[in-house]
Amino acid sequence: MQLRSRLLKPAAALLLAAVTNAAAAAETTAAAQLEYWSAQAGTPGQAARGQAFFASKHGGEWSCASCHGTPPAREGRHATTGKSISPLAPAFNPRGFSDSARSDKWFRRNCKDVLNRECSAGEKADVLAYLLQLKP
Amino acid sequence: MPPIEHTHPVPALAGLLLTITLGLAGPAAADDDGRSMPRQVPKAYTSECGSCHLAFPPGALPAASWKHIMAGLDKHYGSNASLDDATTRQLDSWLQAHAGTWKRVGETPAQDRITRSAWFQRKHRQVRDAVWAHNSVKSPANCGACHPGAERGDFDDDHLKIPPGLPLHLRWAWFD
């Protein structure tokens, strides 16, 4: 995967660092990742499709919502261990989707749990569009 | 009357007290108790292994169990918990170095589950099934539900809490 639009522009990153004092954490944003996966898919992410995808099971025992909740604007809870999970929607969790390696890792792991395969670029774009729509 | 001779006993006593204090409060005690966390915990252990469940103390399982677990992270108790190779190697060697060597962790528990170890079951023999199943507990792997210091490796019986909402008739194990 090449580095591109998912990264903040340096000036924007500096500004964000100055404002939030969280330079190390904010390497990217959910909006930048939505743009990136939409470009990879060749079609913009759709929130309604993302919402349906998020709430549905895909052949496995769990949906995304099984652990992250519906809507994922509050703390979730791991379906087997009961451990609490920070809210997934970025408006409710400043750390959410601020690190592309971390996002990639969890997409990879969790999609394999829910779909028995990795998610497509389009599915990721749809889910991001849905999550970005959730506001306090 | 000559003054009481203090010079000898006092330093000796101070030395003894110092030894006891260091022994109890210092991390030196950690290696003696398989439930405590080692002094140095790799960042990746906390972030990778502590996301879905407590970052369990490595001393809670024998080396052979950690070997199996680290070799099968893509099928980790029903979840994909795979890591990149470098992180897997780093955590694998740390777990091997700090695995339980004490007598009761000698045997590999069924499915390499801490909760299937003889010592775990003995310690929790008073805890009813309904407690594990209660909504504020959910799983015996959810150590923090009753052990608020679990993340620090504090599983002391005197520091227990009662999970919120647990009915009265299930609470007696806490006072036993």
The full set of domain ranges for chain A reads 10-133
Same domain, B112 and B43: yes
Instruction: Quote the CA–CA distance of A30 and A90 in Å, as a whole number.
Output: 7
User: Residue A15's pLDDT is what?
Assistant: 47
Same domain, B98 and B148: no
Chain B interface includes A109 (CB < 8 A): yes
CATH topology assigned to domain A10-133: Cytochrome Bc1 Complex; Chain D, domain 2 (1.10.760)
pLDDT tens digits, residue range B29-62?
344 456 789 999 999 999 999 999 999 999 999 9
Contact present, A92 and A74 (Cβ < 8 Å): yes
Chain B interface includes A21 (CB < 8 A): no
pLDDT tens digits, residue range B133-146?
999 998 898 999 99
User: Residue B33's pLDDT is what?
Assistant: 57
Using DSSP's 3-state secondary structure scheme, residue A78 falls into coil
Is the per-residue pLDDT at B121 higher than 80? yes
Same domain, B135 and B105: no
Domains in chain B, number: 2
Same domain, B130 and B173: yes
Instruction: Quote the CA–CA distance of B171 and B143 in Å, as a whole number.
Output: 16
Nearest beta carbon to residue B141 from set A61, A81, A109 = A81
Could you tell me if residue B79 is inside a domain? yes
Looking at B84, B99, B121, the residue that finishes a domain is B121
Cα B166 to Cα B20, B136, B174, distances in angstroms: 38, 8, 11
Chain B interface includes A112 (CB < 8 A): yes
pLDDT tier at B90 (50, 70, 90 boundaries)?
A: very high
pLDDT tens digits, residue range B164-176?
999 998 998 888 7
Instruction: Flag if B141 and A109 touch (Cβ within 8 Å).
Output: no
Same domain, B115 and B164: no
By the 10 Å C-beta count (0-12 exposed, 13-18 middle, 19+ buried), A36 is classed as buried
Instruction: Flag if A113 and B52 touch (Cβ within 8 Å).
Output: no
pLDDT by residue for chain A (136 residues), tens only, comes to 444 556 655 555 444 444 444 444 478 999 999 999 999 999 999 999 999 999 999 988 999 999 999 999 999 999 989 888 999 999 999 999 999 999 999 999 999 999 999 999 999 999 999 999 999 9
The token pair that represents B163 in the structure block: 């999970």
B17 contacts: CB under 8 Å, gap ≥ 6: none
The token pair that represents B107 in the structure block: 């045997």
What single letter denotes the amino acid at residue B137? Answer: V
Same domain, B60 and B98: yes
Is the per-residue pLDDT at B28 higher than 50? no
Instruction: Flag if B80 and A61 touch (Cβ within 8 Å).
Output: no
User: Residue A9's pLDDT is what?
Assistant: 57
Q: Which of A3, A27, A33 minimizes the C-alpha distance to A131?
A: A33
Interface size between A and B, measured as CB pairs under 8 A: 41
The count of other CB atoms within 10 Å of the CB of residue B107 is: 13
Least confidently predicted of B21-35, B110-124, B144-158:
B21-35
Structure pTM? 0.76
Mean pLDDT of B71-89: 94
Domain of B61? 39-121
Chain A residues with CB-CB distance to B79 below 8 A: 80, 109, 113
User: Residue B5's pLDDT is what?
Assistant: 45
User: Residue B173's pLDDT is what?
Assistant: 82
User: Residue A7's pLDDT is what?
Assistant: 62
Mean pLDDT of B144-166: 92
Cα B81 to Cα A62, A133, B71, B145, distances in angstroms: 15, 29, 11, 23
